[in-house]
Amino acid sequence: MSNVIEINNAIRRAELKAGKIVAIDKPAGWTSFDVVNKLRGMTGVKKVGHAGTLDPFATGVLLICFAGATKQVDALMGLEKEYQGTFELGAETDSHDVTGKVIAQHPVPELSREQIERAVRRYVGEIMQTPPMFSALKRQGQRLYKLARKGEQIELAPRKVMIYSFEVLEVALPEIRFQVACSRGTYVRALARDLGNDLGCGAFLKTLRRTRVGKYAVGSALSIEQFAKQLID
């Protein structure tokens, strides 16, 4: 596997054209393809891809593969991923995250940290998870999120995913700050939905930051600005 480029290392265009992986700290408000297109234009490398989509509101590690390194995209997508974020209890949204429309509101009971941690522990290990309608999965050639925006609902089959660890970092109701390490195909938004149902008050994903993909940690990921400053001929 190609070495990832880290902070304070010069980035040579020739190295990128020969095939390189760059860990980018994706900013909020950008799609994963926005980052790909920005770096493609900045570097002049035609073949650029990413290994694992991050939703626009999310931030953190996005692995960008240049030239020949794009052959490693599938293997990189299979790496364990770690996230930190916040669930907000007491409301449900149609997308199960902060970008969606609120479809239900509920009173939040006086939950203890122990009660919340007990509920969270049920999700550690191999679980069956139903993907959200607002996802990039396809049904008959159409992205589910496009069907969802039209108001269509489809019965989706649960899929096996692996939750390696799921920790409660802080409880400040109605918010719960968490850290989760999980396999490819896991929707953290779906964890928010399901945990909210278990706690009896609904929940949605308010913030999300991907802190690690395999060995690639956010501490050594480059911002778009840092990448631009380190890029040389």
Distance CA 158, CA 137 (A): 13
Q: Which residue is catalytic, options 25, 55, 94, 97?
A: 55
DSSP-derived 3-state class of residue 192: helix
Which residues 6+ apart lie within 8 Å of 146 measured at CB? Answer: none
Omega within 30 of 0 (cis) for the link into 174:
yes
Residue type present at position 200? G
**Is 25 a catalytic site residue?**
no
User: 226 in helix, strand or coil?
Assistant: helix
Q: Which two tokens stand for residue 55?
A: 């939703």
CB-facing half-sphere around the CA of 196: CA atoms within 13 A = 30
Q: How many CB atoms lie within 10 A of CB 57?
A: 16
Tokens found for residue 133: 């309608």
Alpha-carbon dihedral of residues 91, 96, 98, 102, nearest 10 degrees? -50
Q: Any residues with CB less than 8 A from the CB of 63 and at least 6 apart, and which?
A: 4, 21, 22, 23, 24, 50, 51, 52, 76, 213, 216
Instruction: For residue 9, report the phi and psi dihedrals to the nearest 5 degrees.
Output: -100, 135
Active-site positions read 55
